[in-house]
A and B are shown apart, each in its own frame.
Chain A
Amino acid sequence: MSEVRGSLDGRVAVVLGATGRIGSAVCRALAAAGAEVLMIDRDAERLDALQREPGLGQRVTWVAADPSSQLEVDEARAVAQERYGGVDLLVVASGVVTGSAFEDGVPADWAEMIDVNLRGVLHATQAFADPLLAAARAGRPSDLVLLGALGAHPLSPRFAVFNAISAAVRQLARTLRQEYGPRGLRVRAIELGFVATGFGHLPTGPGGSRRHFPHASESVPPDAIAALVAITAALPAEVNVAELAVTPTTMAAVSQ
């Protein structure tokens, strides 16, 4: 795609939810732009397969960790610190989507979404805050990128809880920007209209039928999102693209 080769030379990126559709595209794009990438996700086999992809190889390593586990994410942070001496780009692309008419909603599904989509983001952000702020303090560009969903989409009235959580993450990004912007850390929210199979790593639940995934009819290609991640990260340190709303062209504008 259109990321500039070499634009992220010397950057160390960590991608949570690296084996999902968008996560893997982000890894490819960041590596292509010259960053070292530490890929984090639950499934070691899929991580390994991803690393073996041609063109990724040398630039990426991985750690298997459950993005919703504070301890495992923190241990992944320790690995990153040890391998690369620091981290200056964190992309949180992990998330699960389940939906149904609200009165039919399964509380366990809500709990899982809260765990992964909200608690996971909180843990990851907290765990990596130290190295990200350290890079910012050193005057280097440093990015915290939260990939989220555009809420209140006309196609998704059945995703009330998911949308509520997405809104929480959006608020988190806005507030963290107030807190960390002055300290040189660029907090960025990239929000998408629904993409083919949701975003990030989608675990298949038992029975499967319980889960309702968004329509696949119109979506933004993952590569395009990945390119945006790489391009915005490559901007000069004093510029932050704070929020991006990315939709298929045909989709109606979204109010937030």
Chain B
Amino acid sequence: MTAAVVGRERGVRSLAATGRRLRRTPEAIRGAVVLLSATLVALVWANLPGAGYDAFWHLPLGIQAGGLELELDLRHWVNEALMAFFFALLTLEVRREIELGELRDWRRASVPLVAAVAGLVLPALLYVWVTWATDAVVGWGIVVSTDTAFVLGLLALVGRAMPASLRVFLVTLAVADDVGALGVIAFAYTDDFDPAPLLLVAAGLGAIAAMRFLRVWRGPVYLLPSAVVWLGFLLSGVHATLAGVAIAALLPIFATRHEDVRRAHDQVRAFQMTPSAEHARTAEESLARAVSINERAHRALAPYVAWLILPVFALANAGVPVTPQSLADAFGSPLTWGIIAGLVVGKAVAISLSAWAATRLRLGALAPGLRLSHVVGVSLLSGMGFTISLFVADLAFDDPVDVGRAQLGVLAASTLAAVLGAVAFAVLNRRERRLAPDPGRLVRPLDPERDHVLGDPSLAVVGVVAYGDFATPFAPRADEMRQEMRRRFGSRVAFTLRHHAAGQPFGRAAALATEAAARQGLFWEMHDALVGEAPIEAETQLRRAAARAGLNLRRFERDLASSAGATRVDEDFADAAAMQLRQAPTYFIDGRRYDGPIDAESLIGAVRTRAEAVRSGGDHPKGYRGGPSSSRSS
């Protein structure tokens, strides 16, 4: 083979790799790219002579029903109606985190909340200080808010190596910040506040709460009261996007219940046996019911928000006319500098300092794995006020000259914040890679002396390590996956199971139970029995599983009571925490974390790819076979 051919092959391979990488690019990055493109289009459009950017977005558009008429211009339809969905989506995320995720713990939620409040107040004060005694001082609302969509997109782009909890921190910060900003818009920049229509809001929210109480699960039924709430906010003069926040805050969220999943499974099975329209309907219903309306709403909204609402919003708001004269004028005015100071300096200082103070004063704590330096990076990014700032600028000033100055200030501040944030994360990324273990890498290689291994590690081509949790309702799927893998690969795969309590109350007890069973040589039998019992919600289930696994119950109980194997369980838990594993099961294939979808087909595909790579000899197994113990022939 000549060097040229090798080079070409390599080129083809890298091209294919790029394609794969693009397809695997996180949604948020693709969203950010689309958003950025829309912004650039808007900027170009607004600066093309005779393109009619402003005229277009000021086109009035109305609905008339009987004597009632609702007319807004195009930009307001975008900003007040479409954006309500965006805020609804954010609120759904925060609610989910509050009830099921990171923010369940008030101590963790309190840090981003404190930071958000500081991030609202300090930039405004800074702005007021810079613009003091000028007419521009009324524009303080421009600097209070962060452009959530942009910041999240940018974080996905520049902060890829960052822990996942940083995103949760940012989302919480951003939503609190947005609610504050909406309040500012509503109360500081509303000329005609009318409390009466808020009754409509109350009625609509009441209806939604009632439906929630009655466990209505059909999504479309929620639309009508939602529209009423939105209209109420709009008529009252309070910013109508608050409707999105209020409604989403009410949507029920619950952890998926095992019995619902089982019922759905039964119904689908019934449909399988008798594929009638009747059964199709009940199956569909039970499937939808098994997932909370919050999650279904999130799934339904997310693509529209990312691909339509946010780009259109950027298109409608980012079109700032830029000319040499306007630039010179803007950078000579305290207004522009006030915005830059408020957004770039104010946000960064306020968020970093308040987060530091909150953790120092023990008001709260950062999520594990999150450090103050991460928060500093996020605080720099938060200076991207962008669209919301532009929006407030439009409200705050009547004089087009002032509006133009403010717009340029926002543009400059947002660009600056983006650059600073990107630099900060470039530094952080490098440090992260140097300091912390690669979260995609298995910290403790497969060790046949220590681990419970199914299959013969000395014969196997590929080693799969799963961090699983028997207490979760979804453990059965993990087990089926393991069986499927064994069926497909037989002895070519060594399968290891380690413990990972993904926040389940009986996670540790179940893990200890398998270790107690391992004392009687029945680790896998106990595993299967526990999987049959999942979800584990009571101590007695452990005993039942033990009996089913054929254990000596007296010894089992004695070992369980003395926490035999606790060291190993806790080691596994600590490893899982260090690797920031969030879901159970998480798989490692030859020491590399598997990030694809958790279903048998995808996982087996990944294992096969790996097995083929090993067999072709181009690659050596990593992550196991490395230790001295691996040369054992037993």
Contact = CB atoms under 8 A, between A and B. Distances in A.
Interface of A: 69-71, 74, 126-127, 130
A245 B326 CA distance: 115
A69 B548 CA distance: 9
Per DSSP, are chain A's interface residues mostly helix, strand or loop, or mixed?
A: helix
Interface of B: 543-544, 546-548, 552-554
Contacts of A71: 543-544, 546-548, 553
Given A126-B552, A127-B554, 11 more contacts: A69-B547, A70-B547, A70-B553, A71-B543, A71-B544, A71-B547, A71-B548, A71-B553, A74-B547, A74-B553, A126-B554
Contacts of A70: 547, 553
B373 to A, nearest CB: 53
- In the A-B complex, the 10 residue pairs with the closest CB atoms: A71-B547, A70-B547, A74-B553, A71-B544, A71-B543, A130-B554, A70-B553, A71-B553, A69-B547, A126-B552
Contacts of B544: 71
A127 B553 contact: yes
A130 B552 CA distance: 13
Per DSSP, are chain B's interface residues mostly helix, strand or loop, or mixed?
A: helix
Contacts of A74: 543, 547, 553
Most chain A CB inside 10 Å of its own CB: which residue of B543, B547, B552:
B547
Contacts of B552: 126
Contacts of B548: 71
B541 to A, nearest CB: 11
A217 B553 CA distance: 43
A127 B543 CA distance: 14
A160 B553 CA distance: 32
Contacts of B553: 70-71, 74, 127
A69 B552 CA distance: 13
A69 B544 CA distance: 10
14 contacts: A69-B547, A70-B547, A70-B553, A71-B543, A71-B544, A71-B546, A71-B547, A71-B548, A71-B553, A74-B547, A74-B553, A126-B552, A126-B554, A130-B554
Contacts of A127: 553-554
A126 B547 CA distance: 13
A130 B553 CA distance: 12
Contacts of B554: 126-127, 130
A126 B546 CA distance: 15
Contacts of A69: 547
A112 B600 CA distance: 37
A121 to B, nearest CB: 16
Nearest to A74: B553
A90 to B, nearest CB: 15
B405 to A, nearest CB: 78
Most chain A CB inside 10 Å of its own CB: which residue of B543, B544, B548, B553:
B553
A69 B550 CA distance: 11
A146 to B, nearest CB: 20
A71 B544 CA distance: 6
Nearest to B546: A71
Contacts of A130: 554
